[in-house]
Structure formats: C-alpha cells, structure tokens
Amino acid sequence: MLEFLRGRDVLVAGWGVSGRSLIEPLRDIGAHPVVTDAGAKALAEAAELGLEVTTDVELESAAADSPSGGLGRFALVITSPGWRPDSPVLVAAVTEGIPVWGDVEFAWWVDQARIYGPVRKWLVVTGTNGKTTTTQMTHSILRAAGIPSVACGNIGLPILDALRRSPGPQVLAVELSSFQLHWAPSVRPEAGVVLNVAEDHLDWHGGLDAYAAAKARALFGRVGVVGLDDPVAASLARKSKARRTVGFRIGVPADGELGVVDGKLLDRAFTKAAILAEVGDISPQGPAGVADALAASALTRAIDVAPQFVKEGLQEHKVGPHRAAFVRDLAGVEFVDDSKATNPHAARSSILAHPHVIWLAGGQLKGAGVEDLIEEVADRLVAAVLIGADAPVIAAALARHAPEVPVVEVDAGDDADMADDPSRTDKADAVMAQAVRIAAGFARSGDTVLLAPAAASLDMFADYTHRGRSFADAVHALEDGDIGRQP
C-alpha cells in the first residue's frame, strides 16, 4: 500500500507533534517529506532540521496559477488532525485527485506494511468525555496481563513513535479524537469503543451527525463497543460495521453486555457471567469512572485478557495526585482537583472532560494567552472564580469571549503576589477556601467544580501540589448548605 510513495514527495500539512512524528517513517519508506504550516516559527523550526518547507500561501498561489493545479508534485498529503476539511490546501489536493490522509491513517498503513515489525493489535478509544482515563485503564490491564503494550494517539505519544519503539509493543491502547478518526477511514481496530457523544467540535464537523459519524469509525473493526447509557453512542450500535458489537451500562447487563451488579463489574458479553472488579476499586470514583472501567474491560476482554488481569489492572490504575483527581461529591456536585493543569492547553483538556463547569482558575500565566481556551470552552462554563496574580487577565478574556458567564475575582488584598511572603501558606489557603465557597455557591447538582488553573502556582502557593491540597482541604470543609448558595 505504501510502495507508491517511494521516491515521491509527500506534503506534511501541519508542523505539530503529529507532523514531527511523520518525518522519519516517511524517510524510512523512501519518501521525501515537505512541510507546510501557517506559522512562520513552525516552518523555521522544520527548516532548521533540514526539511524542505513551503507556506500554505505559496501552495494556494501555485494551485491558482497552474492550469493543472499546483500540488501535482505530491503523491500524498498527510494532514494534522486539527486541519479542517475545508482548508484551502486540502480542498486543492482533493480537487487535483491527490489522496489526503491523517497521521493515524498513515500509521495504520505503516503498521500493516510491517515497516517496524509484526502488525499490532489496536484497541481504539473515542468519545466526547473519558477517553484518556479509559485509555490509561486499558493500558493498565494490558500491563497486568503481561502483554507488551503502550498508550498512544491523542493521549500524547504519536502512534508512529509507538510503532518505532524497540522492543515494540504487541498491543496499542489508542486514544483517538473525532478529528483523527475523520482522517483515518481505513483503521480497523481489533476492538474499538465509543464511550459517549455530546455536542462538541460541531463547527469543525458541520453538525452532530457528522461528529457522531467520525466517532463511529471506532466501530469498523472486529469488535465494536458502545456506551449504552449515552443515547447517541447507543444509537451507533445499529450502525456499527464491526463484526461483533457489544455494549456496557452502569446497571444490570443483558446478554452481550457488561454492567454492574451488586457493586461488581460483570461481563456477560465475552462469557456467560464473569465478575471483573469491585466498584470500590475503581479510580476515579463515581459513575464516569465506572463507565470508563467497563469500557476498558470490554476492550481487553475482546482480545481474551482473563478476568483476573482485568481486576488487577483496574485496581492498579490510579488517577495521579492533582491530575483531574476526584475529591468529593457533595449534593450531586463533583469537585475535581487538576492543579497540575498549569497552562491553558492542560486546562482545556480538563474543562472539556465535563459538560457543566464552575471553573476555579488563576495564578501566573507566564505570558500564555487564554483567549483561544476561553472561546473554545465558553459553552461549558457555568461560572468562573479567579485567584492569583493574573486573575484580571483571565477575567478580561472571559468578558470578551464569554460575557454571559458570571465571574468573581477573589481579592487577596495587598498579597496578590505572595511569592516572598513567609506567611503566604496561610494566606493562600484562606484565599482558596474563599474561592471554593464561592464556586460551591454557583453549583447545582450535575455540575463540576473544577480546579484547572491554566497558570503556575508560585505567586501564591509553594507549588502546584500545595495548591491542590489547599483546594481539597477547602472542599472537604464544605457542607451541603454551601451548594447553590449564591455569593
């Protein structure tokens, strides 16, 4: 399948993490990568590595000036997952009959061609929420079973980098976004799961149906798994192209399903009835964590991982301290500590994991911008409570991009920057306690009070772990009456 690329130019559209991962595999199969990106800094970096670069403006101009099109030199365009299908370069490629793949599609064919060893089994995880936790759980179960494996994809490690590891993994736990799946029509996983589907990225996909259709590509392999408690995901079971489709629910499972009975995860899909784990052993606690554990169980049971290893892997999986760690459920409101989200990109992932968020943010932005973050997550914000040195910067961005969201800045008095104050621990804890009480006042059942600061902590706290502990202490001091008590 890849022979047509030998000795040919391939356009790498987007110099991000995925773009960088393409270069060596392209060279290994004898292709010549050419990089394009809208950012001058990105192109300069690629050029410094000795790569041929071209701007998207140059490509568009060449396409407009040439009667036969300006992209004819390229055998293939491999796009970053974030590039929309209506991007001019991609439209021009399609118009000229040049195939457009995503990096995941290319990785699939690299694996099928055995460029880096035997073909791996892909266990694919997608959904609007819970992808990373499910992927990590899946990897934990595989490790418990002694299966050489790696977690990769949208979770951070590009699939191509995982394939190039030595010794190589036998199984890939692959987190895939809707963007990645859109550009990967050939992927046929050994097992794939659609956890849930909520309105997200609709501007990119053009609507919920197209977004759900992209997610449904996880169900094109040998075994498809769907979350039955989510109506859209459940509806995809009828459209699944997998050879076999099973479901999971947080309730009593029917035949062909996984579920929960008397506090135990039960498999009735891959055996008559097998107990897999205790609900109390699942981390993170709560319905979302249990659903993710059921999904990971289904993926690994689909490749015959024994129940005892599912149990062991789920017991060993723990959410890291201050990394989207569940703190408490109070009157139906979940409190989550993601103090480790010390930049806007990390905060984005954290916020997007929850549909209704009271956002507790602030600290030292270190020059990072929050405009794009707030514009993207605005529809998920119930309210924002801000602390720390750059709280005014975040408040101004919220006023521009989410003017309907209530915002409270917690005044630290003369101690807005307490870095050199020997008593700052007590003062910082007091500010955090006030912020948590205000956040709880905005919350209603079904909401999440989320500490995802998007900023560093050293203006007020000793470090991000101190900030997380301060948040957790303040949360545990709350009472039922604090929920919904407007400030």
Smallest CA-to-CA distance from 138 within 311, 297, 320 is with 297
Helix (H, G, I), strand (E, B) or coil at 320: coil
Three-state secondary structure of 170-209: CEEEEECCHHHHHCCCCCCCCEEEECCCCCCCHHHHCCHH
Is 129 one of the annotated binding-site residues? yes
Mode of pairing for the β-strands spanning 9-13 and 32-37: parallel
Contact between residue 365 and residue 393 where contact means Cβ atoms under 8 Å apart: yes
Strands of 325-330's sheet in order across: 325-330, 333-337, 448-451, 357-361, 381-386, 407-409
Is 128 one of the annotated binding-site residues? yes
Contacts with 147 (C-beta within 8 Å, 6 or more apart), sequence order: 170, 171, 305
Contact between residue 407 and residue 383 where contact means Cβ atoms under 8 Å apart: yes
Smallest CA-to-CA distance from 455 within 417, 429, 427 is with 417
One-letter amino acid at 387 equals I
Helix (H, G, I), strand (E, B) or coil at 80: coil
Quote the tokens at residue 440: 């709880």
From residue 122, give the alpha-carbon distance in Å to each of 146, 186, 300. 16, 13, 11
> How many helices, marked H, and strands, marked E, lie in the chain?
18, 20
From CA 86, how far away is CA 485, in angstroms rounded? 46
From CA 138, how far away is CA 275, in angstroms rounded? 17
Is 131 one of the annotated binding-site residues? yes
From CA 247, how far away is CA 214, in angstroms rounded? 19
From CA 440, how far away is CA 104, in angstroms rounded? 41
Helix (H, G, I), strand (E, B) or coil at 117: coil
Quote the tokens at residue 486: 């407007």
From CA 32, how far away is CA 51, in angstroms rounded? 9
From residue 263, give the alpha-carbon distance in Å to each of 280, 314, 354, 396. 8, 14, 24, 47
Which segments are annotated as binding site? 127-133
Which residue positions form the known binding site for ATP? 127-133
